[in-house]
A and B are shown apart, each in its own frame.
Chain A
Amino acid sequence: MSWQDLGKEFQKLRTEFRGSLPAKLKRLRSLWERIDCEEPDADALEILKREVHTMAGSAGSFGLPQVSKFAAAAEEALAGLKAGSRPGAKRAAKFRVLLDKLDKA
């Protein structure tokens, strides 16, 4: 594989990564809905934390620093939230804003 091929492969992976983002964001929203409700799902919080963390880590390596930045902020917004407890209004609003920003990034 030549360096030119590597560049092409990287672009392909980047396109693939970008293409996978809408589904990932949809999943983040779905997980969030299972947390921000009357009976918060403790497992959903664990998964959500892991998925925003993964997104924060990988997006930047695919040349999407804004996605990485907002995902890192989303991870931070979840910090301290206890499993099984409903997030407060302030935290919920902050997280939703970050999800919207991720949608637009």
Chain B
Amino acid sequence: MVKLFPAQPEPELLDTLLKLKRAGLIADAGGKEDGGDGSIEATGFFTRPVFPEPATAGAAAASQSDETLQILRKQGYVARIAKRAAEEKKLEKGQKIQVLVIEDDEQLGKLLRMFLQMHDYIPRMAANKDQIVAALRIPPKPDVVLLDVVLPDIDGFEVLARLKQHPVLKSVPVVMMTAKATREAVLKGLVHGADGYITKPFDVDIISHAIRSVIDLK
């Protein structure tokens, strides 16, 4: 889902957008001097929250610590970002996308596996360091990795860094999925090479959008 931002976003939003632009996540649609309308277009997608943001205080304070996301939320967006792949992926007849899901919550893992199977992906699951290593040793290499940040025995950002340093696996797109919705966390993931960032809770449909976007599957 591609969304255009207003032509003259407020300064804080502009700052965020510039950072996202530097991370390669959004493209400038062209200023007025270029003949464009000055709007900024996301190359991936920003989506509306699954559930309406509560108007009450209380738990909202949990996310209020991050001004940038608040500004994005005020605009009706949460951090669900996916960078489009440089090259379109073409599947051979009968070929299915291999998805490595690194998620330690057993129930959410079940939900994701079921959803991915339903969408004709081939999921393989891992919930800790040993399982990640084992899952990556199974050929073929995954086409995409969905990576939770908070894992029991290893930090998701460390997993991301190791994947991106690996000679064979560095080209595999990684979509971070986490409840860590701070600007620092999102930017940390993106700067370290994540191809997408989805903050929890998410609607499972978002997962398919993200996968298709990061591997540019038509």
Partners in one complex: yes
- Of the listed stretches B19-27, B87-95, B108-116, B134-142, chain A binds B108-116
**In the complex, are the beta carbons of B200 and A57 less than 8 A apart?**
yes
Taking CB as reference atom, which chain A residue is nearest B63?
A: A72
Taking CB as reference atom, which chain A residue is nearest B200?
A: A57
**In the complex, are the beta carbons of B201 and A61 less than 8 A apart?**
yes
Does A9 interact with chain B (Cβ within 8 Å)? yes
**In the complex, are the beta carbons of A76 and B107 less than 8 A apart?**
no
For A58, what are the chain B residues with a Cβ–Cβ distance below 8 Å?
105, 107-108, 200-201
Q: How far is the CA of A75 from the CA of B110 in the complex (A)?
A: 24
Contact with B along A9-39 (1 / 0, CB 8 A): 1100100110010000000000000000000
Q: How far is the CB of A24 from chain B (nearest CB, A)?
A: 10
**In the complex, are the beta carbons of A53 and B201 less than 8 A apart?**
no
For A59, what are the chain B residues with a Cβ–Cβ distance below 8 Å?
201
**In the complex, are the beta carbons of A9 and B107 less than 8 A apart?**
no
**In the complex, are the beta carbons of B65 and A76 less than 8 A apart?**
yes
- With A50-B150, A69-B58 in contact, do A57 and B51 touch (Cβ < 8 Å)? no
Q: How far is the CA of A61 from the CA of B105 in the complex (A)?
A: 12
Give A contacts to B, CB under 8 Å.
Answer: 1, 3, 6, 9-10, 13, 16-17, 20, 50, 53-54, 56-62, 65, 68-70, 72-73, 75-76, 98, 101
